[in-house]
Chains A and B, each alone.
Chain A
Amino acid sequence: MKRILAAAAIVLCVCIPASAHRLDEYLQGTLISVEKDWMRAQIDLTPGVSVFPVLIADIDTNGDGAISETERHAYAGRVLRDLSISIDGHRLTPRLVSLAFPAVEEMKEGRGEIRIELDAALPRGGPDRKLVFEDRHQSRIAAYQVNCLVPQDPDIRIASQHRNYSQSFYELSYVQTGAQSAVPDFAGFTDSAMPLGALALLLSVRLALLWGGRGRAKR
C-alpha cells in the first residue's frame, strides 16, 4: 500500500509537458462481441508515462522490477474482478481466455499495451437482451472506451448502446431472433430468476401429479 501511495505521489508531482505519448491516463479500450451463447471482450490497457509508477506498483507486487507469469495472471485476475458484466440483470462470471504483456520498458515509455481477452457464457433468454459492462479498474486514472463489434451472426442485431460520460458504464441492447426462451436453462440463471424457475418447475410437477391422480381415479 505504501508503495502505491508513493507511486501516486510521484504522479501528482510530475509536471505535464506536451508529449508524443500517453501521459497521465490509463487508456482502457474494450471491444465487446456478442454471440448467441457467448459474450467476448478484448481489453487493451495502455498506461501513460506518468501513471506507469502506479501501474507497476500494482503489477510487480514483489518489486523486483520484472513481471513474472504469476504476477501477470494475478493482475489480470484483478482487472476481471474490477469488471461487472451482466446479461438481462443476471451477473456473469468472465473467464480469462488470453493475456499478453509488453516488456516493462515499453510500458515505461507509454507504448506498452496489455491485452486481455475474456469470455462469458450467456444463459438463454428472450429476443430482447441487455448486456451491461461496468469497469472500475484504476478508475482514478482511467480513460475508458467501450464499443461493440458488429455481430457476425445475422440473427443478432444491435438495438442501442448507452454509456455514461467516462464510459465506465456501458449498456448494450440487442435483438436475438431464433432465441429459445421456451426452454429455460436454469443452470445459467441466478438471483431473482432462480426462485421463479424453481416455482415453475414445482407447479409443473404438481400439475403432472394431479393429472396422474385423475387418470388412476378414472380406472
Chain B
Amino acid sequence: MKINRAFRPSILISLSLGAALAQTPTSRIVSAANKFLATLDDTQRQKAMFRFDDEEQRKRWSNLPVSIVPRAGLSIGELNPSQRSAAMALVASALSPRGFEKVQQIMAADETLKNTQGSGQPGGRGRGGPPQGAGPAGPPPGRGPDAARGGRGGGPPNGRGGGGLMFGSDLYYISLLGTPSEKNIWMLQFGGHHLALNITIEGERGILTPTLTGAQPALYTANGKIVRPLAGESDKAIALLSALDENQRKQAILSFRLADLVLGPGQDGKTIQPEGLKASSMTEKQRSMLLDIVSEWAGIVHESAAVARMAQLKAEIDETWFAWSGPTTVVSGNNIAAYYRIQGPHLVIEYAPQQMGGDPSLHVHTMYRDPTNDYGRKPATK
C-alpha cells in the first residue's frame, strides 16, 4: 500500500505520539495490571479485585504478620510461577527501581525471619539469608489456589501449620481496588509483614500515601553480602543529626522516649502538632540533607510521581520539622536505634525501632503519610 507523501509526517507524529503515550508510567502500570489479571482464573481474579470504594479493604494493612492481621487479595504463595512474575512485574511497574529493590529486601528479610524463627535464633547478621539472594524466594511449585482459605480477609495460605506466627515472602498480598485505567482512579495494594504499599493512581498522579515499610531483621546477610533494607533511612538521618550544631540539636532532640509509631495503622488523616527543629532554622545544606532523607520514602513510587511529590515537599521545606528521640550515635554499618519524625504541611514520616526483646536497630517500623491526602482522597488540582 502506498501512502500519500502529504500524510507521512502526520502518520509519523501519530506513531511517535502513540509510542510516547504508551510509555507513560500510568499506561505501563495499567498494562502490567491487565497482564497480571489475564494470568488469573475467574476465582483468583475475584479474590484480587475489590470495588474502589471498599473502605474495609483499603484500610486492611498493618505492620504485623498476616497470621496476626489477615490480609485479603491474592498471596504470592498461592500463585503459580508465571502469575507470580506478573504480580511482581505489576508492583515493579508502579515503583522506582530502588523502591522495588527495597520491597524485595523487606520480603527477603521476612524470609530470613521465617528461616531463623523456626530454629529459635533471632534474625540478623550472620544468621543466613533468604534462599535465593536478596530477592523474594519463590514458593514451592504447584501450590494450588486452595492454599488460601476463608475468602476475603481470611487467613493466610496453609502449609505452615500450627496457627503460630507465619513469615516469608509467600505471605505478601496483592489486590486492586477499582479497574486499572489510564484516566479513572484506582488503587494497587501490596503488602504483608512490615510492608503496606497503598498506591492510588489517577491519570498521571501516583500517590503512595499511606505507606508502611519496615524490616525484621533490618540487617542480614544474603549471598555473603550485608543487606539493610532501610539503610538510607537510617544513615541519612544520623548524618543530618551529626550536621546540626549544638543549638539545633537541642531543638531537634526530644527529651522523652517514643516506643512506637504515633500515626501507624488506623490513624489515617490525623495531624499531630509538629515538634523538634524547623527546617527554616537549618542551613541550605542541612535542608538538602533533610530532603534526601524524605526521598527514601517519596522515591519508592515511580520516577515521575516521585519527582512531583518531591517538588511539593521541597516547596514546603521551610515548614517541615525534624525531631529525634533516642541514641545519637551508631556503629558504622549498623542501623540507628533512635526514633525520628519528619513532619510538614503534607508529610509525616516516622522511623521507629522496636524494643521487642531484641536489638531495636534490627526491628524497624516506618510510616509515610500525607494526612491531607491519604489514599489520594484530595481531588487533583487542574
Contacts and interface: CB of A to CB of B under 8 A. Distances in A.
Interface stretch (A22-30, A54-62, A210-218): A22-30
A31 B216 contact: no
Contact of B356 (A19, A145, A161, A166): A19
Nearest to A111: B68
B257 A18 contact: no
Given A19-B357, A20-B193, A23-B356, A167 B273 contact: no
A10 interface: no
Q: Binding site of B, secondary structure by majority: helix, strand, loop or mixed?
A: loop
Interface in B225-254: none
A24 to B, nearest CB: 7
A158 interface: yes
A19 B262 contact: no
B255 interface: yes
Nearest to B271: A150
The A interface is mostly helix, strand or loop, or mixed, namely: loop
Interface string B99-143: 000000000000001000000101100000000000000000000
Interface in A100-130: 109-111, 113
A16 B357 contact: yes
B89 interface: no
Interface residues of A, number: 32
Interface of B: 62, 64-65, 68-69, 113, 120, 122-123, 165, 167, 193, 216, 255-260, 262, 266-267, 270-273, 275, 355-359, 362-363
Given A20-B113, A149-B272, 18 more contacts: A18-B362, A20-B356, A22-B356, A24-B357, A25-B259, A27-B260, A31-B270, A113-B266, A145-B262, A147-B273, A149-B270, A150-B272, A158-B273, A161-B273, A161-B275, A165-B257, A166-B256, A166-B257
22 contacts: A18-B216, A18-B358, A18-B359, A18-B362, A19-B356, A21-B68, A21-B356, A23-B357, A25-B259, A25-B355, A27-B259, A29-B260, A48-B356, A143-B257, A143-B259, A143-B260, A147-B262, A149-B270, A149-B272, A150-B271, A150-B273, A167-B256
